[in-house]
């Protein structure tokens, strides 16, 4: 059986890092059929839309999507629906990619790259699970209008709707509890039940779903406290799961805590196991085209793709071991470089992973 992969490099460093991941996938000699299409600003340039019909069709017809990154300051003045990030929002929505897995791992050799004191971060291995198709990201109604109540009736205002339905919360809760069963059986559900109706409901539903997982310990935590505890004692977390908006903030905070966001992959899955795989970092237009971007997050995203969507666990293991080997050999792109290690570029790093496989 051939697996069909949509390869969407996108903008900025996207092209460079995805090229390395493709190189790594090719060397594994798996039955993969990869097809590339433009997305984000790159797609806007050629097709007038960040997520052209053809790109979306390709994504829908594929078993998995290998995604680079989208975005560039130069599109900031476009109307919102044409901006690069609409491509990623559109893909999440169209494919129903509701379960976002964002591991925050601190690699042994990169402890020094963290802002945190080594003892607080060494050995960190958290799995953040973010709901990705609900919440205030997609809730209707939203827009601008004249306020009819509030502090300034009659004034112009803008508004958005936060919302979660029971089945949306249930399915992401199941994902979190099941993930915890494969780890240390501990889940932190992050909410703001003390202020928001949506997240009181979230807390209630999560508590109900938890009854089916008596072997997993569940803790509830407010989002402001979670933002603090991540800084204070990140290793106290194991699986942390939350809604789309809070997950956006906390997963980035946690990724940056590790000091090696250039190393962190992510997976966004739908109910059929179809998934979009992308690095946790962005398109970094400031360093694009210089051959210095770290391709490891994308290469590790390819490994996640093999594991989660293609059921190719052995091949995924081979990639992950190869990445550990190149780190152990002291190779570092500039973002993770430190005294005493060897500075390499994007391509050399990709070649090294290929060689290690």
Asked if 85 touches ligand IPM (CB under 6 A), the answer is yes
For 273, what's the count of Cα atoms within 13 Å in the CB-facing half-sphere?
9
Asked if 46 touches its own copies (CB under 8 A), the answer is no
| The pairing of beta strand 186-191 with beta strand 239-242 | parallel
Q: Which residue has the tokens 């940056």?
A: 256
Q: Would residue 224 show up in a list of annotated catalytic residues for this protein?
A: yes
**3-state SS assignment for residue 14:** helix
Q: What are phi and psi of 59, to 5 degrees?
A: -60, -45
* 30 interacts with, out of ligand IPM, its own copies, none, CB within 5 to 8 A per kind: none
**3-state SS assignment for residue 172:** helix
Q: How far apart are CA 12 and CA 163, in angstroms?
A: 33
Asked if 103 touches its own copies (CB under 8 A), the answer is no
Asked if 125 touches ligand IPM (CB under 6 A), the answer is no
Asked if 194 touches ligand IPM (CB under 6 A), the answer is yes
**Least Å from the CB of residue 50 to its own copies:** 12
Within 10 angstroms of residue 52's Cβ, the number of other Cβ atoms is 18
To the question of whether residue 292 is assigned a binding role by annotation, the answer is yes
Q: How far apart are CA 251 and CA 130, in angstroms?
A: 8
Asked if 89 touches ligand IPM (CB under 6 A), the answer is yes
Looking at beta carbons only, is 23 or 171 nearer to its own copies?
Answer: 171
**3-state SS assignment for residue 355:** helix
Binding mask 247-286 for its own copies (x = CB under 8 A): -xxx-xx-xxx---x-------------------------
**68, 63, 17: which is closest to 40 by C-alpha?**
68
**129, 127, 125, 126: which is closest to 107 by C-alpha?**
125
To the question of whether residue 109 is assigned a binding role by annotation, the answer is no
Catalytically annotated residue among 63, 135, 192, 335: 192
Residue of minimal CB distance from ligand IPM?
85
Catalytically annotated residue among 137, 185, 222, 351: 137
Choose the binding region for its own copies from 146-154, 210-218, 321-329, 331-339 (rule: CB under 8 A): 146-154
Name residues whose C-beta falls within 8 Å of residue 77's C-beta, 6 or more positions apart in sequence: none
Q: What are phi and psi of 207, to 5 degrees?
A: -60, -40
Choose the binding region for its own copies from 49-57, 103-111, 164-172, 206-214 (rule: CB under 8 A): 164-172
Contact of 278 with 91, CB cutoff 8 Å: no
| The pairing of beta strand 125-131 with beta strand 99-105 | antiparallel
Asked if 224 touches ligand IPM (CB under 6 A), the answer is yes
Cis peptide before 120 (omega within 30 of 0): no
* 178 interacts with, out of its own copies, ligand IPM, none, CB within 5 to 8 A per kind: none
First to last CA, the chain: 23
Q: Would residue 11 show up in a list of annotated catalytic residues for this protein?
A: no
* 249 interacts with, out of its own copies, ligand IPM, none, CB within 5 to 8 A per kind: its own copies
Asked if 111 touches its own copies (CB under 8 A), the answer is no
> What phi-psi label fits residue 351: left (phi over 0), alpha (psi between -120 and 50 degrees) or beta?
alpha
Choose the binding region for ligand IPM from 6-14, 81-89, 106-114, 162-170 (rule: CB under 6 A): 81-89
Asked if 168 touches its own copies (CB under 8 A), the answer is yes
Tokens for 210?
Answer: 């938890």
Binding site listing for Mg(2+): 224, 248, 252
Binding site listing for substrate: 92, 102, 130, 224
Query: Which stretches of the chain bind ligand IPM, using CB under 6 A?
Result: 85, 88-89, 194-195, 224, 248
Query: Which stretches of the chain bind its own copies, using CB under 8 A?
Result: 80, 83, 85, 89, 96, 115-117, 120, 133-134, 136-140, 142-144, 147, 149-152, 155-168, 192, 194-202, 223-225, 227-228, 230-232, 245-246, 248-250, 252-253, 255-257, 261
**Residue positions annotated with a catalytic role:** 137, 192, 224, 248, 252
């Amino acid at each position: 059986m051939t697996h069909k992969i949509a390869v969407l490099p996108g903008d900025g460093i996207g092209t460079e890092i995805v090229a390395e991941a493709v190189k790594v996938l090719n060397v594994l000699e798996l039955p993969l059929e990869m097809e590339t299409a433009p997305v984000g600003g790159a797609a806007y340039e050629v097709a007038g839309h960040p997520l052209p019909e053809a790109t979306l069709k390709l994504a829908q017809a594929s078993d998995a999507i290998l995604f680079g990154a989208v975005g560039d300051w130069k599109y900031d003045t476009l109307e919102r629906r044409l901006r690069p990030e609409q491509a990623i929002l559109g893909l999440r929505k169209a494919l129903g990619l509701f379960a976002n897995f964002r591991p925050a791992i601190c690699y042994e050799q990169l402890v020094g790259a963290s802002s945190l004191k080594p003892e607080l971060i060494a050995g960190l291995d958290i799995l953040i699970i973010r709901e990705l198709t609900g919440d205030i990201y997609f809730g209707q109604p939203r827009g601008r209008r004249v306020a009819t109540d509030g502090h300034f009736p009659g004034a112009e205002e803008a508004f958005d709707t936060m919302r979660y339905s029971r089945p949306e919360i249930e399915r992401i809760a199941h994902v979190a509890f099941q993930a915890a069963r494969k780890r240390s059986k501990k889940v932190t559900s992050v909410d703001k039940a003390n202020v928001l109706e949506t997240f009181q409901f979230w807390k209630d539903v999560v508590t109900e779903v938890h009854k089916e997982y008596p072997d997993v310990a569940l803790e509830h935590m407010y989002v402001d406290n979670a933002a603090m505890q991540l800084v204070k004692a990140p290793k106290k977390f194991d699986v942390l799961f939350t809604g789309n908006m809070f997950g956006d903030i906390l997963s980035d905070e946690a990724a940056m805590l590790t000091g090696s966001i250039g190393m962190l992959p992510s997976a966004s899955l739908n109910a059929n196991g179809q998934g979009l795989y992308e690095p946790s970092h962005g398109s970094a237009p400031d360093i694009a085209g210089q051959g210095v971007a770290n391709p490891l997050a994308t290469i590790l995203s390819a490994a996640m793709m093999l594991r989660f969507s293609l059921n190719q666990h052995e091949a995924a293991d081979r990639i992950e071991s190869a990445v550990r080997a190149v780190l152990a050999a002291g190779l570092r792109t500039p973002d993770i470089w430190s005294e005493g290690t060897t500075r390499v570029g994007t391509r050399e790093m990709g070649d090294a992973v290929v060689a290690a496989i």
